Amino acid sequence: MDDVDSATTSVVDVQLPLKPILLQAPEDSYVVRGRQPHQQNALLTCKALYAERIKFKCNGIWIPETEYERREGIDSSSNTPFLQTSIIVNRHSVDRIRSFSGEYSCECIAYGTGPEDKAEQVKSMPAVVRVACKLSLIFSFLQLLFYLS
Is residue 13 scored above 60 in pLDDT? no
Nearest to 105 by CA among 66, 70, 56: 56
Domain chopping of the chain, boundaries: 16-148
Tell me: the pLDDT tens digits for 88-132? 999 888 888 766 667 899 999 999 987 777 889 999 999 999 888
Architecture in CATH for domain 16-148: Sandwich (2.60)
What's the CA gap between 10 and 7, in Å, rounded? 6
56 against 145, higher pLDDT: 56
Given pLDDT bands bounded at 50, 70 and 90, which one contains residue 57?
A: very high
What's the CA gap between 113 and 111, in Å, rounded? 7
Give the per-residue pLDDT at 2.
52
What's the CA gap between 36 and 58, in Å, rounded? 24
pTM of the predicted protein model: 0.75
